Amino acid sequence: MRSNNLSYCFLALALMLFVGCEKHPRVQPKPPLPENAGLIGGTAFFEEDFSNNLDRFETQSKNWKIVDGALYTGDRKNENAGIWLKSLRLPQNVRIEFEARSVKGNNKVFQGDIKCEFGGELNEHASGYIVIFGGWENSTNIIARQDEHNDGPIAVDKTRRVEEGQSYKFAVVRIEDEIRWYLDGKLFLKATDKQILTGGSFGFNNWNSRVYFDNLKIFAL
């Protein structure tokens, strides 16, 4: 009789475990984003071709100006005193497109150093994500989180250099928990951030390079 009772107990326990598993099915892992995630589509959110003035921007250095229908860093050091969208805040899932070319200008050494920043709560350097092409005298390309030095970079490349005078098409994407940087239509760098920064800031920045920016377009994804 005791054997039968034990059998009934084991059967009841098995049924309870089965029912419990049915109520709480195993969570399936999220499929990876496709290779071109965020590169196309979306709704136009903001456009600027720098043909008139900088009224929609907050300039933190007097060097920033419009030259020949493009935004120019100026001929002196900005030392990360950037130029920021004044009141417009980025949507959470976003693509930022622009064209940029770096020149030697009046520098003794060609710097490269094409930089933009976005996703911070404030219009301040190192408030959000920092994207740098040809930083540190054209030696390093990074996506950084709030600090471009030390432990800040979350994606790094040292194989590609900025070519002086060449125009590049940037597409910088924040989608779900990823930051993606497309260069001339191809994925260049990407990083996953489980604590994604969702701030709405965007700006161009530099330390001591001579860069032209143009055809800024922002899309809500």
pLDDT digits (tens, 9 = 90+) for 127-155: 999 999 999 999 999 999 999 998 899 99
Burial 182-213 (b: 16+ CB within 10 A, else e): bbeeeebbbbebeebbebbbbbbbbbebbbbb
- Residues across the chain: 221
- Does 17 have pLDDT greater than 50? no
The dihedrals phi and psi of 7, each to the nearest 5 degrees, come to: -60, -45
Cβ atoms of 82 and 171 closer than 8 Å: no
Note the pLDDT tens digit of each residue in 153-181. 999 999 999 999 999 999 999 999 999 99
What pLDDT, on a 0 to 100 scale, did the predictor assign at position 98? Answer: 99
What pLDDT, on a 0 to 100 scale, did the predictor assign at position 19? Answer: 47
| Residues 73, 117, 120: CA angle, nearest 5 degrees | 135
pLDDT-derived band of residue 49, with 50, 70 and 90 as boundaries? very high
Pick the CATH number of 33-220 from 3.20.20.370, 2.60.120.10, 2.60.120.560, 3.40.1640.10: 2.60.120.560
- The count of C-alpha atoms lying within 13 angstroms of the C-alpha of 116, restricted to the half-sphere facing its C-beta, is 24
Percent residues over pLDDT 70 in the chain? 88
Q: Which of 84, 119, 112, 106 is nearest to 207 (CA)?
A: 112
pLDDT-derived band of residue 202, with 50, 70 and 90 as boundaries? very high
In the chain, what's the furthest Cα-to-Cα distance?
Answer: 98
